[in-house]
Amino acid sequence: MSARTVAKVVTAQETSDGAGVKLLRSLGTHLLPMHDPFLMLDEFRSDQADDYIAGFPDHPHRGFETVTYMLEGAFEHKDSVGNTGQLTSGGVQWMTAGRGIIHSEMPKQEGGMMWGFQLWVNLPRELKMTTPRYQDIAPGRVPEVKAEGVRVRVIAGTILGAKGPVEGVAVDPTMADVKLEKGASFSLDVPATHGAFAYVFEGTARIAGTTVRRGQLAALGEGDRVTFETDDGARILFLAARPLHEPVARYGPFVMNEQAEIRQAISDYQSGRLAR
C-alpha cells in the first residue's frame, strides 16, 4: 500500500451566497478552483440569525450534483417539480440536478446555531442532462462506526464495514465525518484511482503528516491510504471520488463541458425551459 501525501493546503475564504448567507469557501476559489470531480465546498456556521436567515431563495442548477450535510439546525427545500422536505441535524441531501431544477433552501429556525456544508460534485458528460432526483437521508440512516478514539459517520462508500446510504452516484464517492479524540490516529483506505481531500472543521489534525487547522482543506496526492492524527482532538470531512478528466465550463449555477452548453442553459432558464 502507498500512503497519500498532501499536495496542497488551502485556507477557506470568507464569502456569501444566496440572499447573503455567510460562508467559508475552501474549494471553488482562485486558490483551488476544483479538485476533480469536486467543484465547490462551503461551510456555513453561525449562531447569529442575520448571517443565515435570508437563506437561498429560488435558484437554478444544471449539470452537476449538490450535497448538503447538516451538523446543527434545519433547512427546508422546495423545488420546481413539487418536491419538498426538511434537512435536520445529522441529515444529508444528495441532489442530482441533471438537466435542470429550480429550488430553494430556507432556514426552518429563527435563531440558534446553523452549521453544515454544501458540496458540488460534477456529473460526467453523458449524465449532464439526466432526469433530476433527490436522495433525502434522515440522520438515523447514516451509520456510525467506532475504533479506538475514533468515530466515523459514513455518508457514502464503505468504511470499517459500514456502507453509507448514498447510492447510484456516477463518480463512486466516499464521504465521511471523522471525529478524532485527543491523541487518536486513524488510517483510511482510499481507491488509488480516486481524487480525495480532507477539510478540518474542528481542532487541528495531521493529515498524511501535514498539520491542517480548522478552516483548512488538504488536497491529497496519489496513493491508496491516508492517515489522520491529532494531539488535542479534531473533526474532519473526508471526500474521495473517481475523477472525470473532462473539460469543465462553469457559470454561476450551471456546470457543463462547453461554453455553448452554458449559453444554452442560460437561454433555457430565461425562457422557462430549464426545469421542464
160-218 per-position pLDDT tens digit = 999 999 999 999 999 999 999 999 999 999 999 999 999 999 999 999 999 999 999 99
For the stretch 26-65, pLDDT in tens is: 999 999 999 999 999 999 999 999 999 999 999 999 999 9
220 vs 9, 14, 152, 205, CA distance in Å? 9, 23, 19, 14
Q: What is the pLDDT of residue 102?
A: 94
Yes or no: say if 205 and 236 are a contact pair by the CB < 8 Å rule.
Answer: yes
pLDDT at 258 over 90: yes
pLDDT at 1 over 90: no
The neighbour count for residue 210, using CB atoms within 10 Å, is: 15
**Local confidence band at 247 (pLDDT 50, 70, 90 cut-offs):** very high
Q: For 6-270, which CATH superfamily applies? A: Jelly Rolls (2.60.120.10)
pLDDT at 89 over 80: yes
Which residues, 6+ apart, have CB-to-CB distance to 271 below 8 Å? none
Burial track 92-112 (b if 16+ CB lie within 10 A, e otherwise): bbbbbbbbbbbbbbbbeeeee
CA–CA dist 219, 240 (Å, integer):
10
- Provide the residue ranges of all domains of the chain, joining segments of one domain with +: 6-270
Q: What is the pLDDT of residue 112?
A: 96
Q: What is the pLDDT of residue 7?
A: 97
Yes or no: say if 91 and 120 are a contact pair by the CB < 8 Å rule.
Answer: no
